[in-house]
Structures are given as structure tokens and as C-alpha cells.
């Protein structure tokens, strides 16, 4: 049981390039989330999904897109990378019901130059 996995761990992008951050979970969790963490700040929600085929915007969705074709995977797409997207990205998942505890991946550190 690997939990929540994210790839890559680190990435440097040039301005205007695109990339996909991968997130997968093997816990059969319906809910999945993408957050970004900027220095000295807490995490901010980018997108979330309550099940395959269902996604919704969070607080800071501009410049990002997501898809959820399977329960296990929730990739985050960056189109036309900008320096403002330099951040650490965390994926998380949870089960509906109970306390909705979220399980976090190890993060992807992205630098856009």
C-alpha cells in the first residue's frame, strides 16, 4: 500500500512550457485534491475531485487544469508556465464520511524560470 504518490519530485520549467504533475493513490479514496504551498504560507486549494469524472475549482485554479478519469489518478496540468507558479505542489486524498482525514503525497517542487 503506497498511499499517495507524486511524480516528479522536482522539476524546473522555462516560462511558457507545459507539464503534468502526476498523482496516484491506491487506497480507493473517492476524494482527491491539489494544493500549492508558497514560502511562508499555508496550503491553498487548486482543484478537487469527489469522484471519477467530477472536478471543481478551488481557491487558486487559474493556469491549471485537472482531469479524473479513474479513481486512482488525478493529474494536474500546467499550461504556459509562469514564474508565479513556482511552488511546492501537494496532492491529497480522502474517503467520504467520518472525519474526512486527508492523506498527503510527498510533494513536487516546481521552479519556473
Partner 1 sequence: AQSVTQPDIHITVSEGASLELRCNYSYGATPYLFWYVQSPGQGLQLLLKYFSGDTLVQGIKGFEAEFKRSQSSFNLRKPSVHWSDAAEYFCAVGAADSGYALNFGKGTSLLVTP
Residues in contact with partner 1 by CB under 8 A are 31, 33, 35, 40-45, 48-50, 56, 58, 90, 92, 94, 96, 98-102, 104-107
Give the residue with the Cβ less far from partner 1, 17 or 70: 70
Least distance in Å: CB of 54 to partner 1? 9
Least distance in Å: CB of 112 to partner 1? 19
Give the residue with the Cβ less far from partner 1, 76 or 92: 92
Smallest Cα–Cα separation from 92: which of 41, 38, 46, 40? 46
Q: What cell numbers appear for 53 in the block?
A: 469524472
Residues in contact with 40: Cβ distance below 8 Å, sequence separation at least 6, in sequence order: none
Q: What cell numbers appear for 39 in the block?
A: 514560502
Smallest Cα–Cα separation from 105: which of 29, 19, 34, 12? 34
Least distance in Å: CB of 33 to partner 1? 5
Amino acid at each position: 500500500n503506497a498511499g499517495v504518490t507524486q511524480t516528479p519530485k522536482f522539476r524546473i520549467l522555462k516560462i511558457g512550457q507545459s507539464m503534468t504533475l502526476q498523482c496516484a493513490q491506491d487506497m480507493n479514496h473517492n476524494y482527491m485534491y491539489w494544493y500549492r504551498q508558497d514560502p511562508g504560507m499555508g496550503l491553498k486549494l487548486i482543484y478537487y475531485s469527489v469522484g471519477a469524472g467530477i472536478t471543481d475549482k478551488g481557491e487558486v485554479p487559474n493556469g491549471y487544469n485537472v482531469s479524473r478519469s479513474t479513481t486512482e489518478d488525478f493529474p494536474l496540468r500546467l499550461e504556459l508556465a509562469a514564474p508565479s507558479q513556482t511552488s511546492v505542489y501537494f496532492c491529497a486524498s480522502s474517503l467520504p464520511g467520518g472525519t474526512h482525514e486527508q492523506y498527503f503525497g510527498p510533494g513536487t517542487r516546481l521552479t519556473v524560470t
